[in-house]
Structure 1
Amino acid sequence: MYAPTLRRSARIVAAAGAAALMALTGVAASAQAAEGTFFYTRADTGAETFLGSTPNGQCLAIPGGARQATNDTDTDARLYTNSGCTSSSRFLGSRQSDVYSAPFPTFVKFG
């Protein structure tokens, strides 16, 4: 009498666990960040700096603009001159560097 109820409960718990795991995996995949570092030379001061967090698919500010940039991540990037990342873009592949002239890119999007 208890065995069928116990088996049914175990199936429900297993199904709920599998659903939770799939939900967590989906969230983790969408929030994935480029592995590595994005370095750049500020157009306004000439200082060498970098972006700390590089999540994929988000339009990230490049404070001071980029006179030169090195994409030392495992993900391709596009650089833009507007905050919506909709202006004409400049491609910067994974593990590549490039030099820019005015108007300097002020935003980047990975992925």
Structure 2
Amino acid sequence: MHALRCSARVAAITGAVVLMTMTGMATSAQAAEGTFFYTRADTGRETFLGSTPNGQCLAIPGGARQATNDTDADAYLYTNSSCTSSSRFLGSRQSADYAAPYPTYVRFG
């Protein structure tokens, strides 16, 4: 009987640890920490994206002539709203200059 209680207790603790680990990983993967700065291709003004959730295709208003990915996640820049064409990689803490067609969407993660 004692062995059965110990086994049940170990299983419960193991399950709780696995659940906490999975929940912690999901939370940390939800948004890139930091800021994505870019110089607008249409006006030349520097601006930034305020929210950078991972996995979502986000608009870059005005297009990016230059971009600085000051987040902790890699970014992929695209020229279409479905984030499928002309992918350009911009690693975490990197900058790059772009020529036409300028990227107008970005996806993190």
- TM-score for both structures, normalised by structure 1: 0.75
What code does the residue aligned with 1:81 have? T
- Alignment partner of 1:36 out of 23, 34, 37: 34
5+ residue gaps in structure 1? 1-13
- Alignment partner of 1:101 out of 81, 99, 102: 99
Q: Give me the CA root mean square deviation.
A: 2.4
Deviation at 1:30, TM superposition (A): 8.1
Deviation at 1:25, TM superposition (A): 2.3
Pair 27,95 (structure 1): closer, same or farther in 2 beyond 3 Å: closer
The share of aligned pairs that are identical, in percent, is 86
For these two proteins, the number of residue pairs brought into alignment is 97
Matches within 5 A, 1:10-21: none
- Larger Rg computed on CA atoms: 1
Q: Match of 1:29, SS?
A: helix
The corresponding residue for 1:54 is 52
Pair 35,26 (structure 1): closer, same or farther in 2 beyond 3 Å: closer
Larger mean CA deviation between 57-66 and 26-35 belongs to: 26-35
- TM-score for both structures, normalised by structure 2: 0.77
- Alignment partner of 1:66 out of 64, 67, 75: 64
Larger mean CA deviation between 82-91 and 31-40 belongs to: 31-40
Task: State the alpha-carbon separation in 1 of the partners of residues 86 and 43 from structure 2.
Answer: 24
List, as ranges, runs of 4+ consecutive aligned residues in structure 1 with deviation greater than 2 Å.
24-31
5+ residue gaps in structure 2? 1-11
